[in-house]
Structure 1
């Protein structure tokens, strides 16, 4: 599957520290925009991920999902826009 270019810079990268003075994306990195769910609006750094890993999506740890601290939010590339990963539910 051919993936679209990374979304524009300017948003917080998933996993960056909350007190990081520059939580935005670093230049030259490949990112996916997280859309929907508790991580909506953040960017996921997928630099170095294989196409199979990207196609499989991600279960990302979140403190604000349905299961509370330590739960995971599921995100998968959208078929019509693979640079945007839609939220697909939560796991405990």
Structure 2
């Protein structure tokens, strides 16, 4: 796995986790833009990420604060990047 990716934090990792980075044998997409920009999303087992559609990820730092969600979807032609599509309550 790329060394730069190995240093990144995975969405959903505990803040107390001494190693919040990616795990070997897992597949990740980079979240681009929005409140979760730069985090990695574990897409292992999703099949074709590009055809799998988007995700609504819980976040406390989006437009709707605690309880809100950031919407991300696979970038056409580059399923290893999920672009921010907005926030929702």
- Give the structure-2-normalised TM-score: 0.88
1:15-69 CA-to-partner distances (Å, cap 9, x unmatched) read 0001111000000100010000000010000111233786311000000000000
| Contact 2:46-2:52 at 8 Å conserved across structures | no
Q: RMSD over aligned Cα, in angstroms?
A: 2.0
Q: What does residue 82 of structure 2 align with?
A: 85
- After superposition, where does 1:2-13 map in structure 2 within 5 Å? 8-13=5-10
Q: Which has the higher contact order (CA 8 A, sep 6+)?
A: 1
Structure-2 separation of matches of 1:8 and 1:41: 10
**Which runs of 5 or more structure 1 residues have no equivalent in the other structure?**
1-5
Structure-1 separation of matches of 2:52 and 2:45: 13
Q: What does residue 66 of structure 2 align with?
A: 69
- After superposition, where does 1:1-80 map in structure 2 within 5 Å? 8-51=5-48, 55-80=52-77
User: Would the alpha carbon gap of residues 8 and 62 (structure 1) be closer, same or farther in structure 2, given more than 3 Å must change?
Assistant: same
User: Would the alpha carbon gap of residues 21 and 88 (structure 1) be closer, same or farther in structure 2, given more than 3 Å must change?
Assistant: same
Aligned residue pairs total 87
